[in-house]
C-alpha cells in the first residue's frame, strides 16, 4: 500500500518551495528559484534508486527505471512540471490539512474571511470523508503540477520496493516553465527515449485526456497622441478609447466565463493604458483547427478595419501560435489511451475521457514525436487561493502509474 502520510509529507515538501515562473523572462528556467526544487528532485530521484538521473543546463530532469522483465516492452514515460502559475503568488505556501472533510465550508483564512465553500465549488462534495490539502487563502497551492511530481516519484519508489510488479523500462521527466507555455520547448525527446508518455497534469480523479485547445497569444498595441488637454480639440488621440473599440468589437459571449466543453474563446487578460499607448494581451483558444484559424483572422481583420477607420496605422497586432490539439497525434496510437483507461477500470476508477480546456506539455511533446495523453493528478481550482487536492486522489494517481506500467508489460508479452 502507498502510505497517505508519505504522500502528504512529499507533497508538502514540494509546494513549500516557491517555483513561480515568469512570462517576461527570456531565460530557461524563467526564474532562478525553480532550480531550488529541481536540484532537490534530482537528489530525491537518486535516493530512491532511479538510474541515469540527469538535469541539463535548462533544468530539465530525466531519470530511468530499468525493465525487470526478459521480453521486449515499449519504453513508456511519465512527465510533470515543477513551476507554478504566475497568475497568483506561490511564495510562502502554507498548506492546511483537512482530515475527514465533512462537506461544509472550509475557512481558509479567518482574518480575511476567505472560505472554500461547496456552495460555490460543488466538486468538494465528491470528497466528503477524505483528507484535503488546501491553501491558507493567501497563495495558490501548487498541486498544478507538484501533485503530478509527487505521484510519479511515489510510483517509482513503490515499483522499486516491489519488484514482484513486472514492468518494462520507464522514463520520468520533470520540466520548468509549463505554466508560461514553454515547458516542452527545450525537452530532448530523443534523449528521453520513450515510445510514448503520459503527463500527470489533469484535475479530477478519473480524468484522461487526449484532446486540448489549439492556442495562440496576441499582443495588440494601440497608438495615440498626447497633447495638453486644454488645447486638445482635433489633435489628441486617446489610445484607450480606440482600445475599448477593439475590445467591444470581439464577440462578448465568446470569453472564458461564457464558454464550456468544445467552445473556444478570446480571453483579454491584461490591459495597460495611457493616452499615448494602450497594450492589450489576449489568448486565443479553440479545439477545432478551422475555428482557431478563423479566430486569429477575426482579430487581424479588426485591426485592419480600425486602421482604415482612422486613416493611419493606430493599431498593430502580433499573433503567435503556442501549441496545437494533440488529438491529431494521439488518435493513430489510441492503444496508449486504452491502456490508461484499462488501468483506471482495474483500480475501480471511472475514466472521465474529455477534452482539456487548456494545454499541457503533452500537447507540444505529441507534435515533437512523443505521443502524450494527460492523466488526472487530483487537484482542483488551479492557479488561485481556492486550490485544493484530495490526498486519496493522489494515491489513486500513483496507483494508476504503477498499473499502466504493469499492463504495458503484460500486453507485450
Sheet holding 214-223, edge to edge: 265-273, 277-286, 214-223, 315-323
Cβ contact 79:197 at 8 Å: yes
Which one is catalytic: 44, 178, 211, 286?
Answer: 178
3 state SS for the chain: CCCHHHHHHHHHHHHCCCCECCCCCCCCCCCCCHHHHHHHHHHHHHHHCCEEEEECCCCCEEEEECCCCCCCCCCEEEEEECCECCCCCCCCCCCEEECCCCCCCEEEECCCCEEECCCCCHHHHHHCCCCEEECCCCCCCCHHHHHHHHHHHHHHHHHHHCCCCCCCCEEEEEECCHHHCCCCCCCCHHHHCCCEEEEEEECCCCEEECCCCEEEEEEEEEECECCCHHHCCCCCECHHHHHHHHHHHCCCCCCHHHCCCCCCEEEEEEEEECCCEEEEEEEEEECCHHHHHHHHHHHHHHHHHHHHHHCCCCEEEEEEEEECCCHHHHHHHCHHHHHHHHHHHHCCCCCEECCCCCCCHHHHHHHCCCCCCEEECCCECCCCCCCEEEHHHHHHHHHHHHHHHHHHHHHCC
Which one is catalytic: 20, 22, 44, 83?
Answer: 83
Instruction: List the one residue out of 93, 71, 73 whose CA is nearest residue 84.
Output: 93
Residue 201 assigned as binding residue:
yes
CB burial readout 326-341, b (16+ within 10 A) else e: bbebbeeeeebbebbb
Residue 410 assigned as binding residue:
no
Instruction: List the one residue out of 413, 328, 294, 402 whose CA is nearest residue 76.
Output: 402
Residue 383 assigned as binding residue:
yes
Calpha distance 325→63 (Å, rounded): 27
To the query of whether residue 112 is one of the catalytic residues in this protein, the response is no
- Which residues have CB under 8 Å from 57's CB, separation 6+? none
Residue 179 assigned as binding residue:
yes
To the query of whether residue 83 is one of the catalytic residues in this protein, the response is yes
Annotated binding site for Zn(2+): 81, 144, 179, 201, 383
Residue numbers annotated as active site:
83, 178
Annotated binding site: 81, 144, 179, 201, 383
Amino acid at each position: 500500500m502507498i502510505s497517505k502520510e508519505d504522500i502528504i509529507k512529499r507533497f508538502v515538501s514540494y509546494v513549500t518551495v516557491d517555483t513561480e515562473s515568469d512570462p517576461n523572462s527570456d531565460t530557461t528556467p524563467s526564474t532562478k528559484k525553480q532550480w531550488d526544487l529541481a536540484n532537490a528532485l534530482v537528489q530525491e530521484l537518486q535516493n530512491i534508486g532511479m538510474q541515469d538521473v540527469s538535469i541539463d543546463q535548462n533544468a530539465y530532469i530525466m531519470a530511468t527505471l530499468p525493465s525487470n522483465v526478459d521480453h521486449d516492452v515499449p519504453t513508456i514515460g511519465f512527465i510533470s512540471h515543477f513551476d507554478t502559475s504566475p497568475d497568483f503568488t506561490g511564495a510562502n505556501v502554507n498548506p492546511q490539512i483537512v482530515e475527514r472533510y465533512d462537506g461544509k465550508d472550509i475557512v481558509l483564512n479567518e482574518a480575511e474571511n476567505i472560505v472554500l465553500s461547496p456552495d460555490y465549488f460543488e466538486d468538494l462534495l465528491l470528497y466528503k470523508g477524505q483528507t484535503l490539502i488546501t491553501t491558507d487563502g493567501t497563495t495558490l497551492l501548487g498541486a498544478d503540477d507538484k501533485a503530478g511530481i509527487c505521484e510519479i516519484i511515489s510510483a517509482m519508489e513503490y515499483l522499486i520496493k516491489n519488484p514482484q510488479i513486472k514492468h518494462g523500462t520507464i522514463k520520468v521527466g520533470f520540466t520548468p516553465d509549463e505554466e508560461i507555455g514553454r515547458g516542452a520547448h527545450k525537452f530532448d525527446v530523443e534523449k528521453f527515449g520513450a515510445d510514448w508518455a503520459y503527463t500527470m497534469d489533469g484535475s479530477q480523479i478519473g480524468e484522461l485526456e487526449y484532446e486540448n485547445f489549439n492556442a495562440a497569444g496576441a499582443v495588440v498595441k494601440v497608438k495615440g497622441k498626447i497633447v495638453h488637454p486644454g488645447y486638445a480639440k482635433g489633435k489628441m488621440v486617446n489610445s484607450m478609447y480606440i482600445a475599448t473599440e477593439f475590445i467591444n468589437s470581439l464577440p462578448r459571449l465568446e470569453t472564458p466565463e461564457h464558454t464550456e466543453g468544445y467552445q473556444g474563446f478570446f480571453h483579454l487578460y491584461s490591459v495597460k493604458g495611457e493616452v499615448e499607448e494602450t497594450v492589450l494581451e489576449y489568448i486565443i483558444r479553440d479545439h477545432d483547427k478551422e475555428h482557431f484559424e478563423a479566430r486569429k483572422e477575426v482579430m487581424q481583420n479588426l485591426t485592419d478595419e480600425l486602421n482604415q477607420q482612422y486613416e493611419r496605422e493606430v493599431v498593430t497586432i502580433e499573433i503567435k501560435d503556442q501549441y496545437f490539439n494533440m488529438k491529431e497525434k494521439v488518435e493513430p496510437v489510441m492503444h496508449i489511451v486504452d491502456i490508461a483507461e484499462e488501468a483506471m477500470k482495474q483500480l475501480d476508477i471511472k475514466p472521465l475521457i474529455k477534452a482539456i480546456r487548456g494545454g499541457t506539455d503533452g500537447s507540444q511533446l505529441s507534435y515533437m514525436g512523443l505521443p502524450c495523453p494527460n492523466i488526472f493528478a487530483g487537484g482542483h481550482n488551479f492557479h488561485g487561493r481556492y486550490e485544493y487536492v484530495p490526498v486519496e486522489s493522489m494515491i489513486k494517481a500513483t496507483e494508476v502509474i504503477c498499473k499502466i506500467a504493469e499492463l504495458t508489460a503484460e500486453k507485450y508479452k
